[in-house]
Amino acid sequence: MTEDLFRLFKSHLDCQSQSMKTLPPVKDWTTPLCGDIDIVINRQGKWLHEGSEIRRSSLVKFFSSLLLREGDDYFLITPEEKWRITVELAPFLIIRADRACKAGHQLISLLTHTDELIVMSNDHPFCIEYEQGSDEPIPLVLVRDGMKGLINRSVFYELVSWGMPKGVPSGHVIESMGVQFDLE
């Protein structure tokens, strides 16, 4: 990210920093594993406990602040307890995208269902993944600490509408903070 882009979009980047500032330092905690707990974050980003959806958004937001990823495993961690949970696809769901254009440059900011704001950039790259045997794209963005957010369908379509053609025969990309991301 060049210094010019940082100055140009300083207010947006400050909002992202503020969003992340309130998170506890889960990476610093060395809590031993207590075991597994029946909490699942399903493919739609819903948190389930023993099969029932956790409907209190404040509780989901609190739990998401205690998420830790180690390898392919996800944990809820505090200084006293560490419980392995199941994440079916991605622990976050992207529910909104906003675009700012200044001096010929574009910034894409994304909002998670837990109110974390991220800016698509080298630090928060966008990617498309595919499950084995499927040609349906799974649009993802790195939210924090190796954990990705699934971009919901309407937001993905919005990103595609903001994209531009590139390459031969028919590539499509979106740019944010001077970085181009493939939309295919």
How far is 104 from 109, CA to CA, in rounded Å?
17
Instruction: Summarize the confidence of residues 153-172 as an average pLDDT.
Output: 85
The residues near 23 (Cβ < 8 Å, ≥ 6 apart) are: 65, 144
Average pLDDT value for residue range 75-99: 96
pLDDT reported for residue 135? 87
pLDDT at position 47 is: 97
Sequence-distant (6+) residues with CB within 8 A of 182 are: 128, 171, 172, 173
pLDDT band at 77 (very low <50, low <70, confident <90, very high): very high
For 123-139, the pLDDT digits (tens) are 999 999 998 888 889 99
What the block records as the tokens of 60 is 């989901």
> Which residues, at least 6 apart from 94, have a Cβ–Cβ distance to it below 8 Å?
110, 111, 112, 113, 141, 149, 150, 151, 152, 155
**Model confidence band, residue 160 (pLDDT cutoffs 50, 70, 90):** very high
pLDDT of residue 119: 92
- Distance CA(28)–CA(36), nearest Å, equals 21
User: Given this model, what pLDDT does residue 171 score?
Assistant: 77
Measured CA to CA, the distance from residue 21 to residue 105 in angstroms comes to 26
**Confidence (pLDDT) at 166:** 80
